[in-house]
Amino acid sequence: MTALGEIMTREVVTVGAGATLREAIGILRAENVNGAPAIQNGQVVGVISVSDILDFEVNGPTAPPDSEGDVQWRILEDEESDDVPSFYGGAWDDVGIAERFGIDGAHEWDLLGEHVVGDVMTRGLFSLPPETPLDEAGTYMMRRGIHRVLVMEGKRLLGIASASDFVRAVAEHRV
């Protein structure tokens, strides 16, 4: 029976837990992978995936932490009218939205550049030993709804087995 260690990817792409999300995206893209173990002080502390980053970007904070509750509205001098309908009706005609709210390109908030992998990674380690039979590994992954499993001996990372590794093994008639 084929074991997990026989189909795993041995040269594992890793990302530092302190790397920014923007840096992590660059690494994942350059290596053409959708997820990677997050490493801190030489130890695996979690897994970061494209899905984790997308979920964070969609559901994460909407304003920089230091500006919470400190939003300032800038009303232009030529619009000091008490006529509310004309204020709202003509406000965007002459002035761009960014200028209207005092936003310029140099001050835009970089959500992915200001948060690190450790903020959004999956902390639970889904791992199995290399001698795990493939059917058990596949069942483990399906039950947990994961697309990759770390192959570890104790705390030592040996490799990673993704759904693609399973498909490759089937296509190459190794299972």
pLDDT, tens digit (0-9, with 9 covering 90-100), for 19-65: 999 999 999 999 999 999 999 999 999 999 999 998 888 887 665 55
- Global pTM reads 0.69
In a 3-state reduction of DSSP, which class is residue 52?
Answer: helix
The yes-or-no verdict on residue 66 having pLDDT over 80 is no
The yes-or-no verdict on residue 143 having pLDDT over 90 is yes
Rounded distance between C-alpha atoms, residue 142 and residue 146, angstroms: 7
Task: State the sign of the Cα–Cα–Cα–Cα dihedral 74, 78, 82, 86.
Answer: negative
> 38 with 45: CB under 8 angstroms?
yes
Mean pLDDT score, 121-131: 94
In a 3-state reduction of DSSP, which class is residue 85?
Answer: helix
pLDDT at 10: 96
The yes-or-no verdict on residue 166 having pLDDT over 70 is yes
pLDDT at 65: 53
Rounded distance between C-alpha atoms, residue 98 and residue 38, angstroms: 37
